[in-house]
Amino acid sequence: MAWVKTSVMLPAENEQVLVHDDRENRIALGRLVGGRWYVEDAPEGRLREVAGVTHWAPVLDSEAYDPGDD
């Protein structure tokens, strides 16, 4: 799985992706909506805006994932 810098490319609007939030130093499920990043807070799955996203990666379908592709 390749991480993508947000300064290089952004995911599709409202696409669920993994995000690296540099301010809170965590990786979480998130999405870009209206130019703003949101992460899903467990357990309710509610979205919360965050400002420190530096990288993102696609969420892989476990059946289609092949570690040899990395």
pLDDT of res. 24: 86
How many Å apart are CA 23 and CA 62, to the nearest integer? 29
Instruction: Please report whether residue 65 resides in a domain.
Output: no
CATH assignment of the domain containing 51:
2.30.30
* pTM for this predicted structure: 0.77
Domain around 31: 4-60
Per the prediction, the chain carries an average pLDDT of 86
Instruction: Please report whether residue 66 resides in a domain.
Output: no
- Which one is predicted more confidently, 10 or 48? 10
Instruction: Please report whether residue 9 resides in a domain.
Output: yes
Residue 55: pLDDT above 90?
A: yes
Q: What is the pLDDT of residues 15-39, one digit of tens each?
A: 999 999 888 898 999 999 999 999 9
How many Å apart are CA 35 and CA 26, to the nearest integer? 20
